Amino acid sequence: MKKYVLGAMLLVAVSISAKAQFSLGVKGGVNYSTIHSDNFRNSSVAGYQAGLFARIGGGLYLQPEVYLSSSGGEFNSNDNTYSGKVTFTNLNVPVLVGLQFGPKNLNFRVMAGPEYISVLNQNQNLSNNFNAAYNNFGNSYKDNMLGYQAGAGVDLGPATVDLRYQGDFDKYNTYYNQHQNLWALSVGFKFF
Neighbours of 81 (CB within 10 A): 10
**CA 31 – CA 46 distance, rounded (Å):** 6
**CA 4 – CA 116 distance, rounded (Å):** 15
Residues 6+ apart with CB under 8 A from 9: none
Residue 17's pLDDT is what? 43
Note the pTM of the prediction, 2 decimals.
0.78
**CA 76 – CA 181 distance, rounded (Å):** 17
pLDDT in tens, the chain (192 residues): 455 445 555 555 444 444 568 999 999 999 998 877 766 777 788 999 999 999 999 899 999 999 999 988 877 776 767 777 788 899 999 999 999 998 878 999 999 999 999 989 877 766 555 555 555 444 566 778 899 999 999 999 999 999 999 988 776 666 666 677 899 999 999 998
